[in-house]
């Protein structure tokens, strides 16, 4: 998905998403966080973030947002930093300035110029994520196929 700078979608315009809960930039949360409704993070979360199963919950990280853990949600929007895996049923968006150190499992993927990803991109083609994917096993399976050619 390529956009000219003037045509790019501004991150988290109020008309795009509605967030019932916001973790402010001066807030740090430790532990597992379970969201029943959409959540925006501008502070830090150290632990996994999970959307309640069966809910179309969006998890968004603003530019100052940091997550050290895995994220499980319907839609994940990232402009900050994630040190963990992302599992999204519908879509993952990496906006300019985003940095992800982990694997991304997605239905659809959008990446803006300037976003960084250090991990695997795993397409689910509409399937729901089945939990953690062992990236080393995926790498070994793909590496074996490449070496046998």
Phi, psi torsion values for 66, nearest 5 degrees? -135, 130
Task: Quote the pTM value.
Answer: 0.73
Return the percentage of the chain with pLDDT > 70, whole number.
Answer: 72
- What's the confidence (pLDDT) of residue 19? 79
Q: Which residue has the tokens 């930093």?
A: 81
- Report pLDDT digits (tens) over 15-70: 356 777 889 999 999 999 999 999 999 999 999 999 988 888 999 999 999 999 99
**By the 8 A CB rule, do 78 and 93 touch?**
yes
- What's the confidence (pLDDT) of residue 130? 52
Tokens for 11? 């991150």
The candidate with the shortest Cα–Cα distance to 40, out of 95, 3, 77, is 77
Average the pLDDT over 105-118 and give the result.
94
**By the 8 A CB rule, do 29 and 45 touch?**
yes
Give the model's confidence band at 141: pLDDT under 50 very low, under 70 low, under 90 confident, else very high: low
- Report pLDDT digits (tens) over 66-88: 999 999 999 999 999 999 999 99
Cα 71 from Cα 39, distance rounded (Å):
12
Give the model's confidence band at 144: pLDDT under 50 very low, under 70 low, under 90 confident, else very high: low
- What's the confidence (pLDDT) of residue 53? 82
């Amino acid at each position: 998905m390529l956009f000219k700078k003037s045509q790019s979608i501004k991150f988290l315009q109020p008309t795009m998403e509605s967030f019932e809960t916001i973790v402010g930039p001066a807030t740090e949360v430790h532990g597992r966080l379970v969201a029943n409704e959409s959540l925006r993070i501008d502070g830090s979360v150290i632990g996994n973030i999970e959307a309640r199963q069966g809910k179309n919950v969006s998890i968004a990280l603003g530019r100052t947002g940091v997550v050290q853990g895995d994220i499980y949600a319907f839609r994940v929007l990232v402009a900050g930093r994630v040190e963990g895996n992302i599992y999204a049923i519908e879509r993952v968006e990496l906006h300019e300035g985003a940095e992800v150190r982990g694997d991304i499992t997605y239905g659809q993927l959008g990446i803006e110029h300037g976003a960084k990803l250090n991990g695997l991109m795993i397409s689910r083609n509409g399937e729901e994520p089945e939990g953690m994917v062992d990236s080393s096993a995926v790498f070994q399976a793909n590496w074996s196929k490449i070496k046998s050619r």
